[in-house]
Amino acid sequence: MTTPKLRFLTICSFAAAGGVLLSSAASFAQPNPATSYTQEKYEELIKTLPFSNTQSFDDAKEGFIAPLPNEGKVTNAQGRVVYDLNNYAFIMQGSVAPETVNPSLWRQSQLTMLGGLYKVDERIYQVRSADLSNVTFIEGETGIIVIDPLISEETASYALDFYFSHRPKKPVIAVIYTHSHVDHYGGVRGVVDEADVKSGAVKIYAPDGFLDHAVSENVMAGNAMSRRASYMYGNILPANPQGQVGAGLGPTTSSGTITLIPPTNVIKDRRETLEIDGLTFMFQLTPDSEAPSEMFFYIKELNALCTAENATHTLHNTYSLRGARIRNPLDWSKYINEAIYEFGKDVKVQFAPHHWSLKGREKIIEHLEVQRDLYRYINDQPLRLANHGFRMVEIAEMLKMPKKLETTWSARGYYGSVNHDAKSTYVKYLGWFNGNPATLHPYPERIAGAKYVEFMGGADALLQQAQKSYDAGDYRWVAQVVNHLVFAEPDNQDAKNLQADALEQLGYQAESGPWRNFYLSGAKELREGVKPEEAPDTASPDTIRAMDLSLMFDYTALRLNAEKAGESEMVLNWKFPDTNQEYVVELQNGALSHIEGYQSDKADATISINRETINNIILGQETFDGASKSGDLKIEGDQDKLKELLSMLDSFDFWFNIVTPVPLDKANQ
């Protein structure tokens, strides 16, 4: 019996860590221009923010050596383009923001377009804008230490070749993964050969918990996260002034081969100092910050501080809109503060795997203090208001940032936003329920929508009123109220078109790249419907091999359809001879449990299969039936029990509806 190939990692986890769909501009419906109300917001922002301050551009250009070769176009072995920065050539340096792009976001997009090879400082070089993230090359005494080798093998190899075209060619002797998101490790095979890692010629350093989180963070809700990431990164949008203009964190994501080589050296102590090729690396673990497994490091001889993804030139996400566990802004702030006190006295250069570096102690400390205060504010002020009794949505509207944080470019919400980060603080501490019993058991959208429409006097009356609100520029209200009609009557194209028009203007107004991409992606699918395109293929062989068996059984259990299982009961012993592991899997009461290290004497069947065979089945290279016929799978006892169990497992459709209701029959597929 065949099983669907797992899709369980998202980019960014992206950041990363976000999507790798390919854009399809040809099918994009003709967008509307910006309205006068959107233009008013545009002009307001220009007056509010210090656009005359161009220091960021000076900092971002410092150390420039050469532009990206081939205009930033990267292809794979088959000739398919996996990354092309030239798609964003319309974002010209010094240009005025189009009417359809928030001028602050346009400014940030111009900065993230400054790609090429840069000299950060003596012995430190970066290739920027060759992917969503930067790759950094540290020159040791005998070789090169690579920091965070991008998303794809192809872009990482391209960046390494580019670096060597301007610097002496030395062997790569170490790789450092600063954290567990795919845009910081996925290209590792583009910079090192696994044989050299196994021989000890190359060492790979990573923070405690890296491998577990790199593989597991998005497994359990991976399909939903990946689908939502297609909105977050605007992967279904064309790159143009009325579509995708970047992600705020970087230009866009590559779509090449995602790889993973497990670390050889894990940093386990909160503070740990190691010598790597003649340089002293002082590591500082920062778990549960921007990633569940993350770390800073300071290179003593170079007075250089790498702050991973915790102090870039934007307000980051304490909750990722693609869906992820909520991050801890309090600890995040404290880690930055520790770095200031631990390394701030002597620091001369600060760099990160996104955006541009900074030189000069005073400038670095100011940047770190702003970032520290930003995440502390995001934690403390929502809690202050919550303790007064205010609720999540209104807290997010009530917050007004202090002037310094409001007007410092690196604290603006190009990737995260104050609004949704504040909401995540509320949920982290108090959960989804706001305490008002009227909100304890609300109707789901598809039922509530019909009731709202009836209360409002029917679809025609609702649309007439909503059109008045649209004409008055109240797009937030139109999006909120027409959503009820869309869920009540998902075939009502007039409703979907008006909803799309409102979302489009909200997208034009958004300063956050992900907010813009969500709004415009929603508008596109409301107008055109869901159109399957090339889906992300992050279940790579490296990732499958790195997934432990317990996680594999956990993922199988969440696919169990309890209605299909009914009152069925079974006990299966599993044996994996090549890894010398044994499990008992037990189905009872619509739940599938497992435990390692045991075998049951009440088992209906005992299944013997090598882990490598399971990997091939997950990757779609083999089937259970084929493995049984070849002898790679052996079953003692009831031969039909495994097939019975597999027949109870759901398959997940990647292209599920987001802005219209999912058909109810999908729950039993």
Binned at pLDDT 50, 70 and 90, residue 539 comes out as: low
Q: Which pair of structure tokens corresponds to residue 94?
A: 């010094």
Of the candidates 24, 38, 36, 23, which has an alpha carbon nearest to the alpha carbon of residue 504? 38
User: Do 43 and 63 belong to one domain?
Assistant: yes
Residue 6, pLDDT > 50, answer no
Query: Which residue is listed with tokens 């999507």?
Result: 19
What is the model's pLDDT at position 22?
36
Contacts of residue 424, defined as CB under 8 A and 6 or more positions apart, other chains included, come to 318, 319, 326, 327
- The SS3 call for residue 296 is strand
User: Do 217 and 227 belong to one domain?
Assistant: yes
Beta-bridged to residue 172, according to DSSP, are 144
Contact indicator for 255, 22 with CB cutoff of 8 Å: yes
Residue 316, pLDDT > 50, answer yes
Judge whether 454 lies within some domain: no
Distance between CA atoms of residues 353 and 612, nearest Å: 34
* C-alpha distance from residue 304 to each of 298, 300, 301 (Å): 6, 7, 8
Other C-beta atoms closer than 10 Å to the C-beta of 165 total: 11
Of the candidates 319, 269, 313, which has an alpha carbon nearest to the alpha carbon of residue 289? 319
What is the model's pLDDT at position 271?
97
Of 386, 404, 430, the position where a domain reaches its end is: 430
What is the distance, to the nearest Å, from the Cα of residue 605 to the centroid of all Cα atoms in its chain?
41
Beta-bridged to residue 571, according to DSSP, are 586
Distance between CA atoms of residues 607 and 658, nearest Å: 39
Contact indicator for 593, 612 with CB cutoff of 8 Å: no
What is the model's pLDDT at position 11?
33
Contacts of residue 266, defined as CB under 8 A and 6 or more positions apart, other chains included, come to 205, 206, 207, 208, 210
Contact indicator for 393, 155 with CB cutoff of 8 Å: no
Number of H helices, E strands in the chain: 23, 21
User: Do 155 and 286 belong to one domain?
Assistant: no
Distance between CA atoms of residues 4 and 91, nearest Å: 40
Of the candidates 373, 377, 421, which has an alpha carbon nearest to the alpha carbon of residue 396? 421
Helix (H) or strand (E) segment spanning residue 596: strand 591-596
What is the model's pLDDT at position 669?
64
Domain that holds residue 153: 37-47+57-270
Q: Which pair of structure tokens corresponds to residue 480?
A: 């909120």
User: Do 235 and 355 belong to one domain?
Assistant: no
User: Do 194 and 263 belong to one domain?
Assistant: yes
Distance between CA atoms of residues 430 and 425, nearest Å: 8
User: Do 375 and 226 belong to one domain?
Assistant: no
Largest CA distance in the chain: 77
User: Do 280 and 389 belong to one domain?
Assistant: yes
What is the model's pLDDT at position 536?
54
**How many percent of the chain have pLDDT more than 70?**
94
Q: State mean pLDDT over 554-566.
A: 92
What is the distance, to the nearest Å, from the Cα of residue 77 to the centroid of all Cα atoms in its chain?
26
User: Do 80 and 110 belong to one domain?
Assistant: yes
Distance between CA atoms of residues 244 and 233, nearest Å: 8
- The SS3 call for residue 366 is helix
What is the model's pLDDT at position 30?
85
What is the model's pLDDT at position 21?
37
Q: Report the first-to-last Cα separation within the chain, whole angstroms.
A: 16
**Start-end of H helices in 1-66:** 36-48, 55-61
Of 430, 464, 479, the position where a domain reaches its end is: 430
Residue 1, pLDDT > 60, answer no
**Start-end of H helices in 151-193:** 153-164
> Which amino acid is residue 72, in one-letter code?
G
Question: At residue 582, what are phi and psi to the nearest 5 degrees?
Answer: -135, 145
Distance between CA atoms of residues 300 and 273, nearest Å: 10
What is the model's pLDDT at position 298?
98
Distance between CA atoms of residues 604 and 10, nearest Å: 37
Judge whether 380 lies within some domain: yes
Distance between CA atoms of residues 230 and 160, nearest Å: 28
Q: Which pair of structure tokens corresponds to residue 324?
A: 């992820």
User: Do 313 and 298 belong to one domain?
Assistant: yes
Binned at pLDDT 50, 70 and 90, residue 665 comes out as: confident
Residue 18, pLDDT > 80, answer no
How many domains is the chain built from?
Answer: 3
Helix (H) or strand (E) segment spanning residue 502: helix 493-509
Distance between CA atoms of residues 410 and 418, nearest Å: 13
**Start-end of H helices in 217-312:** 222-232
Judge whether 661 lies within some domain: no
Q: State mean pLDDT over 646-667.
A: 90
**How many percent of the chain have pLDDT more than 90?**
86
Q: State mean pLDDT over 471-477.
A: 98
Judge whether 355 lies within some domain: yes
DSSP string over 428-451 = HHH-S--S-GGGTSPPPHHHHHHH
Each residue of 589-629: pLDDT tens digit?
999 999 999 999 999 999 999 999 998 888 788 899 999 99
For the chain, what is the mean pLDDT? Answer: 92
Q: In what order do the strands lie in the sheet with 304-306?
A: 271-276, 279-285, 295-299, 304-306, 349-351, 358-359
What is the model's pLDDT at position 668?
73
User: Do 218 and 69 belong to one domain?
Assistant: yes
Distance between CA atoms of residues 70 and 92, nearest Å: 18
Contact indicator for 147, 136 with CB cutoff of 8 Å: yes
Distance between CA atoms of residues 86 and 90, nearest Å: 8
CATH classification at residue 598: 3.30.1050.10
Residue 8, pLDDT > 60, answer no
Judge whether 251 lies within some domain: yes
Binned at pLDDT 50, 70 and 90, residue 7 comes out as: very low
Contact indicator for 231, 126 with CB cutoff of 8 Å: no
Each residue of 173-205: pLDDT tens digit?
999 999 999 999 999 999 999 999 999 999 999
What is the model's pLDDT at position 13?
35
Of 430, 456, 490, the position where a domain reaches its end is: 430
User: Do 286 and 327 belong to one domain?
Assistant: yes
Q: Indicate the range of 33-42, 118-127, 437-446, 617-626 predicted with least confidence.
A: 617-626
DSSP state of 127: E
Judge whether 11 lies within some domain: no
CATH classification at residue 305: 3.60.15.30
Q: Which pair of structure tokens corresponds to residue 588?
A: 């009872």
Judge whether 538 lies within some domain: no
Residue 218, pLDDT > 70, answer no
User: Do 553 and 633 belong to one domain?
Assistant: yes
Judge whether 212 lies within some domain: yes
Helix (H) or strand (E) segment spanning residue 331: helix 329-343
Distance between CA atoms of residues 403 and 669, nearest Å: 52
Distance between CA atoms of residues 207 and 285, nearest Å: 7
Each residue of 318-357: pLDDT tens digit?
999 999 889 999 999 999 999 999 999 999 999 999 999 9
- 128 burial type by CB count under 10 A (0-12 exposed, 13-18 middle, 19+ buried): buried
- The SS3 call for residue 143 is coil
- How large is the C-alpha radius of gyration of the chain? 26
Contact indicator for 117, 126 with CB cutoff of 8 Å: yes
Each residue of 236-295: pLDDT tens digit?
999 999 999 999 999 999 999 999 999 999 999 999 999 999 999 999 999 999 999 999
